[in-house]
Structure 1
Amino acid sequence: MMKIIYKNNRIEGRKSELPIIELSSSFMKKNIINEGTINVKFGNWLGTFTLKKNEQLTENVIALEKKSLPFDIPAHLPYEMNYKGNTLHIGPIIAFIAVKKTRNLTHKLLEQNKDRFEDYKEIGGLLFVCSGDAIDFSKETIEGYYYNPNATDALTRWKKGTFPFPDSIFKKLTLPMEKERELQKKLENKVFNTNRFSKLDLWRAFSSNNNLRNYLPYTIEYESIGALSRMVQNFETVYVKPVIGLKGIGIFMIKYEEDYFSITNHEKEKKYFKSISEVDLYLTTIIGNERYLIQQGIPTIHKNKHVDFRLYFQKDKYHRWVCQGTLGRVGQEGSVITNLQQIAHLADGLKAIKIVFHESEEEAKRILYETINVCIHLCQALQGKLGHYGDIALDVIIDQHQKPWILEVNNGYGTKSLRALNDMDLLKRLKTTPFQYAKSLAGF
């Protein structure tokens, strides 16, 4: 780790209009650097400095004129230095976009996110929290609050400042597409997670992929009664869902039972209809102009309860997808969804597999391993199709033949279920690992 010293006065010996940076003779000798001009990189900002040797500086200390930078770089933080191609890169500088509006970036919200920085000693550098509307493309700066690792209380933990465009950005929300694209261009695709996508987008992206399509339920857009009729004829059960869904709201399960159709909604209310035209009329009356999809239903009933699994995947510092943990969710009897409001039972994924399939520990591990392997293949394929991701949760069904089916990819997932299970180790990994990946993206 290295340290920055700011000199309030003009550094002596300047012979040009360029600002001066001073390095120790030992650092310059170690990296084969000669006096002259040098490029200095903070985040995405690059400036040219006159380089001077300072015999009084220790190896891991640099000196800068206070006014040489058009943004805030706190001097008391520990940084790393990389020297390559006459450029001295100082960092990492990482932004976490936590909210859309600055007015929502309250001290309470900052404190709610402090556990994301528990592994600061492994990351170092300047880590700051900001809002989407605080990004200034004209000046290439972002206003926010940086994390102070030396703080002794909540009041001194967060310091406001104006920072350069960072080396990398981790975000948990959707930005306007134009802003997203411009950020990706400026930071050379070092912004993750990119914007959310729907179940329909997922199907369309991978339905032509022979290795993945067999693990995705067949999905089409609900555009006509013909689309609904074809799906009901082809599959024993189908689900009608909002293209952009949230917490299972607006989901309908449709089944053909003997000589009538049954429809169950997310509140467990059940209705019966004699014809598909009656079903279509009923649904379109409720749906209106909203976009909906129709999805193949996968049999997962366990004692009249739906069962699914959530698997958490993140990229580590080596850019490898890692399964951080798994969760089994058993819905309430008669419910068509398994969100937290209608869950009867939560358990670790392995334990849930053993209970549902009545399998031994060894066989349950095999099923889980195969499920994780399929999910990792999808994770690896995401970046080429749907964006840059490093922190996602996959909702998966395992059918009666022990085959996994990937229902959905969530990059804005919550952690209430894990808190209900009191799985604090997994929670910590999920909170902190993205900054290891962000640091690696930053080049450190």
Structure 2
Amino acid sequence: MNRLYIKWIPGLKPNQILLPRQVVIPPSVVLHFGAWKKKVHVGISDHQPPDSIGLSVHLKNEVTIPDTLPYEMYTVGKDLHLGPVIALLISIKELTPGLLNEYRKYFANYQEIKGLIYLCSVNGINPRNKTVEGYYYNPQSDGEKAPWTKGIFPYPGVIYKRIWVNKSRLYDDLSVHTDRKIFNPYFFNKWELWELSRSNPLIRDHLPHTKLLDNLQSLKKMLALYGSVYLKPNEGSMGQGIMKLEKTLGGYLFIDRNNRMTFINNEIKAWAFLSRMRKGRKYLIQQSVALMHQNKNVDFRVIMQKDGNQQWACSGVIARYGEDGRFYTNDVSSISLGRDALRTVFQFKDEEAVQKEEEIISICTTACQLIDHKYGPFGDVGIDVTVDPNLKVWLLEINSRHQHTILSYLKDDPQMYSRVLTRPFEFAKSWAGFTKENI
């Protein structure tokens, strides 16, 4: 059944359900709703509407199953699954109206996904009752709080994790009792990613040479090899703390993200300057690889997501142009389709741009499979790459908390934004077992 509704039937006992005549099912099954389950006896009725499942009103005291939502169901042996039940973990503490509103557009294809999808915080997890307090998407709701309805829900079948979570008893309980069906479970740092990636022969040659900034000798060796390097904090994003360092005839030129320059003519003083700048944080030294076009740094953000077949797919490639004269692209001056930028910057013909984009996606797919194997499962990442003047592709960073909103400014492919927001639900639904083969 592609669309199933709940009918509450007062006469049923808590361990009874009622299904229409055309459903073929064992007389006794385990009913699953997310991680909640209960052994029930199945009744068959000619009077039960064909698009419904009859549940006892007594179940309302055990589990929250909103009755205005469309569901799907499938059976495996003596297990009957009703759902899907998907949780978006989007906060540690509060779910503010502003935060909820940010996720409204994620539900553009809800009618294809169906089921109970709720937004929640770590603080909303209740290990004692195996429930989560949050807000579910309710397309039938109206009023100023629409489309959100507050409630307390069972642990889900799949969790889409959008935040960093420190070690937490609440989170660990949720993870264990959902069979660890959490995607994007781990946020790795830059050094972890580099060490993992260099072990793979398919992408090893696409990594900028990188070392830990742990002593002056490492810095001098990297500068001797490349003349200029990037200094990056091992953890963090959005370009915070990044710096460029150039070795000149007279000394060392430091350039920060605001283009402020500091020249130091002595290596001991330069190291002391770096020590103050690091403030005890772990930093990396990285070979400078960059693409400049009309005095703007250009790189590419590749959105890789798992689809309804649970396979990695590219949801879009965009080019990011940095501000004039800046060495990074975190402060974006403009964006375009990646393929258009390849044509513009390298004067590629259409076929050449397509081939280079396919090469980029192939490298990114391998990287996704690698992090899946080591830290996964993942389902939604943004990968930063660049292409140097010699047309070599360089893998710069993998972001498992990448911001989707930048895509809303892309005018040339307005569907990409919606595709990126909604595709993780397709994966979550499939991973929960609600596949075309099962339904």
Quote the Cα distance in structure 1 between the aligned partners of 2:356 and 2:329: 21
Q: Note if 1:411 corresponds to 2:405.
A: no
Alpha-carbon displacement from aligned partner over 1:340-376 (angstroms, at most 9, x marks no partner)? 3xx3442221121122222222212221111111111
1:383, distance to aligned residue in structure 2 (A): 0.8
> What SS does structure 1 have at the residue aligned with 2:289?
coil
Is 1:268 the counterpart of 2:268? The answer is no
Contact in 2 for aligned 1:24/1:62 (Cα 8 Å): yes
Amino acid at match of 2:425: F
User: Paired residue for 1:240?
Assistant: 231
Q: How does 1:141-220 map to 2 (within 5 A)?
A: 141-178=131-168, 180-220=171-211
Aligned residue identity for 1:85: G
**C-alpha offsets along residues 368-427 of structure 1, whole Å, 9 cap, x if unaligned?**
111111111111221111222111111111112211111111122224432333453111
What SS does structure 2 have at the residue aligned with 1:214? helix
Counterpart Cα distance in 2 of 1:26 and 1:300: 62
What is the aligned length? 429
Structure 2 counterparts to residues 68-83 of structure 1, below 5 A: 68-69=59-60, 70-83=62-75
Identity rate of aligned residues, in percent?
A: 32
Which runs of no fewer than 5 residues in structure 2 stay unpaired?
435-439
Q: Is the 8 Å Cα contact of residues 39 and 87 (structure 1) preserved in structure 2? A: yes
Match of 2:437? none
Alignment of 1:361-380 (within 5 A): 361-380=350-369
C-alpha RMSD over aligned residues? 2.0
Question: Structure 2 length as normaliser, TM-score?
Answer: 0.92
Q: Are 1:203 and 1:218, in contact at CA under 8 Å, matched by a contact in 2?
A: no
* Residue pair 1:228, 1:280 contacting (<8 A) in 2 also: no
What is the Cα deviation at residue 10 of structure 1?
Answer: 4.8
Q: Hey, which bits of structure 1, 4+ residues long, moved more than 6 A?
A: none
CA distance in 2, matches of 1:52, 1:313: 45
Trace 1:1-400 onto structure 2 (pairs within 5 A).
1-7=3-9, 9-11=10-12, 19-27=15-23, 30-31=24-25, 33-34=26-27, 37-69=28-60, 70-102=62-94, 105-178=95-168, 180-340=171-331, 343-400=332-389
CA distance in 1, matches of 2:272, 2:37: 61
Q: Which residue of 1 aligns with 2:409?
A: 420
Instruction: Rate the CA distance shift 1:62–1:303 in 2: closer, same or farther, 3 A.
Output: closer
The change in CA–CA distance for 1:232 and 1:84 in structure 2 (over 3 A counts) is: same
* CA drift at 1:259: 4.2
CA contact under 8 A between 1:237 and 1:298: conserved in structure 2?
A: no
User: Could you tell me how far apart the structure 2 residues matched to 1:95 and 1:274 are?
Assistant: 55
> Contact (CA 8 Å) 2:125, 2:174: kept in 1 or not?
no
Cα distance, 1:46 vs structure 2: 1.4
Distance 2:345 2:102 in 1: 36
One-letter identity of the residue aligned with 1:244:
E
Residue 275 of structure 1 deviates from its aligned partner by 3.8
Instruction: Give the AA of the match of 2:183.
Output: F
The Cα shift of 1:119 comes to 0.6
> Tell me, what secondary structure is at the counterpart of 1:155?
coil
Q: Distance in 2 between matches of 1:224 and 1:433?
A: 44
Q: Judge conservation of contact 2:124–2:133 (CA < 8 Å) in 1.
A: yes
Report the Cα distance in structure 1 between the residues aligned to 2:301 and 2:220, rounded to whole angstroms. Answer: 31
Call closer, same or farther: CA 1:81–1:361 in 2, change over 3 Å.
same
Question: Taking structure 1 as reference, are residues 66 and 348 closer, same or farther at Cα in structure 2, changes over 3 Å only?
Answer: same
TM superposition shift of 1:169: 1.0
Distance 2:312 2:296 in 1: 31
Q: After the TM superposition, which of the residue ranges 343-352 and 261-270 deviates more from structure 2?
A: 343-352
CA contact (8 A) 2:141 2:149 kept: no
Whole-Å separation in 1 of the counterparts to 2:134 and 2:121: 7
CA contact (8 A) 1:390 1:434 kept: yes
How far is 1:95 from its partner?
A: 0.8
TM-aligned CA deviation for residue 48 of structure 1: 1.1
- Structure 1 unmatched ranges of 5 or more: none
CA deviation string 1:164-213 (max 9, x = no partner): 11111112111224555544432223211223222111112122222222
Counterpart of 1:432 in structure 2 is 422
Distance 1:346 1:38 in 2: 53
Deviation string 1:185-242 (CA, Å, 9 cap, x unpaired) is 3222321122322211111212222222211222222222222222222323211111
The CA deviation at 1:441 is 0.7
CA shift in 2, pair 1:333/1:257, >3 Å: farther
SS at match of 1:306: strand
The residue matched to 2:382 in structure 1 has which SS? Answer: strand
Could you tell me how far apart the structure 1 residues matched to 2:242 and 2:146 are?
Answer: 46
